[in-house]
Amino acid sequence: MTLSTAPSPTGTLIDGKGFSAEVRARIAAHVSALGARGITPGLAVVLVGQDPASQVYVRNKGLQTREAGMASFEHTLSADTTQGALMALIARLNADPAVHGILVQLPLPSHLDSDAVITAIDPAKDVDGFHILNVGRLATGQKAMVACTPLGCIMMLRAQLGDMSGLNAVVVGRSNIVGKPMAQLLLRENCTVTIAHSRTRDLADLCRRADILIAATGRPRMIPGDWIKPGATVIDVGINRITENGRSRLVGDVDFDSAVTVAGAITPVPGGVGPMTIACLLANTLTACCRSAGLPEPEGLTA
C-alpha cells in the first residue's frame, strides 16, 4: 500500500486521513468476524470534568468506536470526583468482561493522581499503552500495548518507507505519550535514534541529519524547512490552534509551507497523524479483545 497522494512542489503528502479510513475499515471487518462468534470488542472511556477539548476528543472516540461495530462505554465524572471514586470505577471496568479497553482521558484535574490511576488499569486493557508494564514491555522488545499516536506514526512510516534499517531518526520531544515510545518503536525498526528536547544543542544541525524527523514539541511551526534534510520523511505530531489574520486554525510543529518544498514526504496538519491516533485506539481495543479471547491478533495493526 502506498500513502502518497497529491504531489506537492517536491515532497509527497502522507495522507493520514485516507490511511486511517483504510485501517478503520480493516478493523470493522475483523469486528464483524468476531461478531459471528458472539464477541463484541468494548472500549470504556472515562472523562473527568468538562474540559471542552477533552469533550470533543471523547465524543469522537465514541462515534468512531461505534462506527467500527464495537461497544462504547462512556463514563463522565464531575470535576470534583475523588481519587477513591475514580479508582473504584477503574476496578469495576477491570472486572467487566464486556470491557476490553480502558482509556482515562488526560489531563485529569490537578487534585487527582494520574500515575496512580494509570497504574490501576489492568495492563491487558491499557489501550493507551501508558501503564509501566506496557512501557517496560515495549522497551524490552516484548509484546505490549503501544501508545496510539506513536503506533499510528510507525504504521505510516512502514507504509511509506518499508525497511527503515540504518536510517537516522530524530525525535524532537521527550514526552511519555509520544517522544519516548516513538523512539523505542524506531529502534525496533533498526533506525539510529536520537531524542532531542528543549535543552538540545544545535537542534537545527541535528534535524538536518535526520532521514526521518518526528516533530512532537507542542510548539507551533517550530521546525522550519531549512532544518530538514532534502528528501527526508517528516512526521508532524503537533496539533496547535493559533489565530492568524484574525482567524483560528490548526498548525503543526513543523512550518509546513517551507518544509514541503524540501521533504521527500510529510504529514499535513490537520489530516496527518491526528486521524491515525483514534484508528490506533480502535486497533488496540481489537487487539486486547483478541488476546483476551485467546484468538489470533489482527495482522498489521500492532507494533
Instruction: Give the binding site for ligand GUN (CB under 6 A).
Output: 103-106, 128, 148, 177
Nearer to ligand GUN by C-beta: 118 or 210?
118
128 is annotated as an active-site residue: yes
Nearer to ligand GUN by C-beta: 33 or 53?
53
Output the residue with the shortest Cβ distance to ligand GUN: 106
Q: Which of 237, 232, 272, 277 is nearest to 254 (CA)?
A: 237
User: Out of 64, 105, 160, 184, which one is annotated catalytic?
Assistant: 105
Nearer to ligand GUN by C-beta: 12 or 20?
20
Q: How many Å apart are CA 75 and CA 39, to the nearest integer?
A: 22
105 is annotated as an active-site residue: yes
In the complex, the smallest distance separating the C-beta of residue 176 from ligand GUN, rounded to whole angstroms, is: 11
Element at 71 (helix H, strand E): strand 71-77
In the complex, the smallest distance separating the C-beta of residue 260 from ligand GUN, rounded to whole angstroms, is: 26
61 is annotated as an active-site residue: yes
Backbone angles phi, psi at 278, to 5 degrees: -70, -35
Q: Which of 198, 150, 191 is nearest to 172 (CA)?
A: 198
In the complex, the smallest distance separating the C-beta of residue 10 from ligand GUN, rounded to whole angstroms, is: 32
**Which amino acid makes up residue 1?**
M
In the complex, the smallest distance separating the C-beta of residue 130 from ligand GUN, rounded to whole angstroms, is: 7
Q: How many Å apart are CA 124 and CA 144, to the nearest integer?
A: 9
Residue 260 in contact with residue 11, Cβ under 8 Å? yes
Q: For helices 148-161 and 179-188, give the axis angle rounded to 10 degrees.
A: 40
User: Out of 15, 126, 128, 255, which one is annotated catalytic?
Assistant: 128
Nearer to ligand GUN by C-beta: 11 or 150?
150
Catalytic positions are 61, 105, 128
